[in-house]
Amino acid sequence: MGDGGVRSVPRQILERMRCPQCGNAVVETESGGVVCSGGHTFGRRGAVLDFSKEAEPSGSTERTFASFGYEWNAFDGIRDEDERFAEIYFRDLDLDGLNGKVGLDAGCGKGRFTRILARYLDAEVALDGSSAVDAAAAGLDDLDNVCVVQSDLRSAPFAPESFDFISSLGVLHHLDDPFEGFKRLLTYLAPGGQILLYLYSRPPTLSVRSVAQSGATAVRKVTVRLSHPTLKALSTPIAAALGVVFVAPGRWGADRGVSWLADLPMDTYRDKPFRSLVLDTFDRLSAPVEYRYVWSDLQQWFDETGLVVDAARDETGWFVLAHRP
Ligand SMILES: C[S@@+](CC[C@H](N)C(=O)[O-])C[C@H]1O[C@@H](n2cnc3c(N)ncnc32)[C@H](O)[C@@H]1O
Ligand SMILES: [Zn+2]
């Protein structure tokens, strides 16, 4: 803790932080914000270092931040099932290999995965453009190797090549130009550093999942226009319907070896509490922009940027682990 009871920014993170206006290094102020040698100051809101005024969000970015700011403050708190989701998210990653490294979780939401990575990393930035950072700050409050930053990931206040590890889980597909966002994110990755992405996938051929996805895309045309409290209220009955149509029969089929039922979509929810389906229903129906990918789309991202793909799997979304040579 600093003198005023405000927790200091971890040294490894302060060293890498740069003024978004002039690029100079920064130091902490007495009130817990930061200031650069050119006198540009950036304040603190609770435990959050606030760089959100730097790039005023416009158009769909503003709506995206409003949607996720609402979502993660309404569905806040780290839950037991987050550990179980993490088993899927981090399956390809050598978590012990993160020891001694400095990481960036770009688009951290309420910080459920930041928290798990922070067990292994030396220091970590939990960054999000939306007011989700307030939920993240509350959920990560006990971790003194984490610094919560509110900023657009495309103009994050860090020196180039600052991070040995970057995670961006469920984020880039919500940008207007995901590949451009990916390339910006890569500027923060050190040579030899690893990046872990989760991106929505799209089945390449006609299937139950592709039909369900088309249905959801049609429903989204209406739901992205609803007020967030209204959509939150609707998410419970919609999730209940999905549970009856997909999750419960899928679980039944899997238990009894009935393959056509076991193959139903939404299998990740079969062993998770209903509330996780409600949250993801809201998430899916609220975010104003979403892109979906087949592998050849993403392979191009990695080919064009010279990254080496270490693992890629589609498990109701692409989990891609790659490194910068
Ligand atoms: C689906 S949530 C995922 C949160 C978290 N990674 C998780 O899996 O729980 C996407 C997050 O990305 C953030 N986000 C979207 N666009 C962003 C941008 N341009 N810069 C920073 N954060 C962004 C949103 O505010 C939101 O919290
Ligand atoms: Zn400056």
Which fold is adopted by the domain 47-201+299-323? Rossmann fold (3.40.50)
> What is the per-residue DSSP string for 5-48?
SPPPPPHHHHHHBB-TTT--BEEE-TTS-EEETT--EE-EETTE
Length of the chain: 325
Atom 1 (ligand 1) nearest CA: 170
Pocket test residue of 112, 130, 279, 283 for ligand 1, highest count of atoms within 8 A of CB? 130
* Higher-pLDDT residue of 209, 302: 302
**pLDDT per residue as tens digits for the range 58-84:** 779 999 999 999 999 999 988 989 999
Strands 163-169 and 189-199: parallel
Q: What is the C-alpha separation between 288 and 60, in angstroms, rounded?
A: 7
35 CA distance to ligand 2 middle (Å)? 7
Backbone angles phi, psi at 174, to 5 degrees: -95, 0
Ligand of minimum distance to the alpha carbon of 286: 1
**Angle (CA) 216 222 228, round 5°:** 100
Q: Give, in order, the Cα–Cα distances in Å from 86 to each of 68, 78, 201, 311.
A: 20, 12, 18, 16
Q: Strands, E, within the chain: which ranges?
A: 26-28, 34-36, 41-42, 44-45, 48-50, 102-106, 123-128, 146-150, 163-169, 189-199, 308-314, 318-323
7 CA distance to ligand 2 middle (Å)? 22
What does the pLDDT read at residue 57?
79
Dihedral over alpha carbons 80, 86, 91, 95 (to 10 degrees) = -100
Give yes or no for residue 167 CB within 6 A of ligand 1.
no
Give yes or no for residue 82 CB within 6 A of ligand 1.
no
Name the one residue in this structure whose structure tokens are 């592709």.
Answer: 210
Confidence of residue 212 (pLDDT cuts 50, 70, 90): confident
The pTM score is: 0.95
Atom 15 (ligand 1) nearest CA: 171
Contact 196, 319 (CB under 8 A): yes
Q: What is the C-alpha separation between 200 and 104, in angstroms, rounded?
A: 21
Give yes or no for residue 113 CB within 6 A of ligand 1.
yes
**pLDDT per residue as tens digits for the range 229-258:** 999 999 999 999 999 999 999 999 999 999
255 CA distance to ligand 1 middle (Å)? 35
Confidence of residue 5 (pLDDT cuts 50, 70, 90): low
Pick the range with the lowest mean pLDDT from 43-52, 204-213, 219-228, 294-303.
204-213
17 CA distance to ligand 1 middle (Å)? 20
Backbone angles phi, psi at 42, to 5 degrees: -135, 130
Structural domain boundaries of the chain? Answer: 47-201+299-323, 208-286
**pLDDT per residue as tens digits for the range 213-235:** 999 999 999 999 999 999 999 99
Q: What is the C-alpha separation between 9 and 13, in angstroms, rounded?
A: 7
Pick the range with the lowest mean pLDDT from 50-59, 132-141, 193-202.
50-59
